[in-house]
Structure 1
Amino acid sequence: MDLVGGKWKAVMLYHLKGDSKRYNELRKEMPGVTERTLSLQLKQLEEDGLILRQVYGEKPPIKVVYSLTDFGKSCIPVLDAITGWGNQIALQKGEFIKGS
Structure 2
Amino acid sequence: TSPAFFAGESTAVERSSEHLSPEDLACLEWLDTQKESSVIYVSFGSVATMSTEQFQELARGLERSNQPFVLVLRKTLVADPSVHDFFEGLKQRIGKRGTVISWPPQMHVL
- TM-score w.r.t. the length of structure 2 is 0.27
Q: Which of the pair is proportionally richer in strand?
A: 1
Higher relative CO (CA 8 A, sep ≥ 6), structure 1 or 2?
A: 2
